[in-house]
Amino acid sequence: MKLLGSVRPWVKLGLLAAVSLLLPMGVFAQDDTPKALPALIGAGFFGFFFICLIIVYVFWAITLQTIANKTNTENAWLAWIPIGNIVLGLNVARKPLWWIILFFIPVVSLVMSILMWMGIAEARNKPNWWGVLIIIPFIGWFLVPGYLAWSD
């Protein structure tokens, strides 16, 4: 007690109050704090991923609407509707609308999207091999639609 012997009584009271307020926090604390950090990191990752998906969706809708306008295809606003954008892509590519059923079959949908984007490239007077590039990550997601939409 010699350590606090020269300290004024009101400082001793303040220290005692601070320690007495902090002490029960360790006694009555729950184990939720260590579990909260991974949940917070997961929520942050999900939020970042969701924002990235929205940016990609808006980019694709703008490019498909631009392609539809440049090819004089009706109902270019369908680019903003989730299944309507497939219908619009088939209209731009001049493919039959019953092909939309094939887009819901897992492996066949990959082949159908290549064929659709090959038709879209031909409708924009570009080589049809640009449609094959749609399966390459990042290049096919950004370069191909952007090139087909905004190149002359």
pLDDT at 29: 54
Q: Is residue 49 part of a domain?
A: yes
Q: Is residue 70 part of a domain?
A: yes
CA dihedral (144, 99, 112, 124) positive or negative? negative
Q: Is residue 6 part of a domain?
A: no
**Cα–Cα distance between 79 and 117 in angstroms, integer?**
14
Question: 25 in helix, strand or coil?
Answer: helix
Q: Is residue 24 part of a domain?
A: no
Domain containing 104 equals 38-150
Nearest partner of 91 among 64, 130, 60, judged by Cα: 64
Q: How many domains does the chain have?
A: 1
pLDDT tens track, the chain, 152 positions: 455 556 666 666 666 666 555 555 555 555 555 666 777 788 888 889 999 999 999 999 999 999 999 999 999 999 999 999 999 999 999 999 999 999 999 999 999 999 999 999 999 999 999 999 999 988 888 999 999 999 98
**Cα–Cα distance between 66 and 43 in angstroms, integer?**
34
